[in-house]
Amino acid sequence: MLDDLKRIKFLIDEDLSPAVARYLCNELFIDAIAVRDRGLLGAKDYQVLEYAFNEERILVTANVRDFEKFARTTEIHAGIVFICQGDLSRSEQITIVKEAVNAINAELENGRDMLNRVLYMEEDGTKRFDNLGES
């Protein structure tokens, strides 16, 4: 299981606290970076998604509407976690992202990666995986 966690890499979008990336790194030993720390603050959404793909990072964002559109029209992406509530506190963001990590790890253990897949995370703990990418 720890090996699977080490394989997961995340890019935390600017609409979430960079503390989420720090928590993933420091507490779960997961390779996670924040958009703000990579000079991508204010970058176009397609640039952020492209950066995530080039770095083989799963994007974590609360910007569901815009990134859903890009995920549907992009030929290939490394995966996206959609936090469906955008007004969560920092600690709530960390909690929901930890749940996403557990869900993704379970998928990896069952031989399913996140390539062209998205994970919708609701505040109440509801999770749903979907395939979004150009067919």
Answer yes or no: is pLDDT of 98 > 70: yes
10 Å Cβ neighbour count for 71?
A: 23
- Going by C-alpha positions, the residue among 1, 2, 7 that lies closest to residue 114 is 7
pLDDT tier, 1 (very low <50, low <70, confident <90, very high otherwise): very low
**36-70: buried (b, 16+ CB within 10 Å) or exposed (e) per residue?**
beeebeebeeeebbebbbeeebbbbbbbbeebbeb
The CATH number of 2-131 is 3.40.50
pLDDT confidence of 7, banded at 50, 70, 90?
confident
Q: In what order do the strands lie in the sheet with 117-121?
A: 31-34, 9-12, 58-61, 80-83, 117-121, 127-131
Strand partners, 120: 82, 128
Higher pLDDT, 69 or 7: 69
pLDDT for res 9: 96
Predicted local confidence at residue 3, as pLDDT: 53
pLDDT at residue 114 tops 50: yes
More confidently predicted of 104 and 74: 104
pLDDT of 31-69, one tens digit each? Answer: 999 999 988 888 999 999 999 999 999 999 999 999 999
- pLDDT score, position 134: 64
Domain ranges of the chain: 2-131
Provide mean pLDDT across the span 12-22. 96
User: How much is the pLDDT for 95?
Assistant: 95
Report the mean per-residue pLDDT for the chain.
91
Q: Which residues contact 112 (CB under 8 A, 6 or more apart)?
A: none
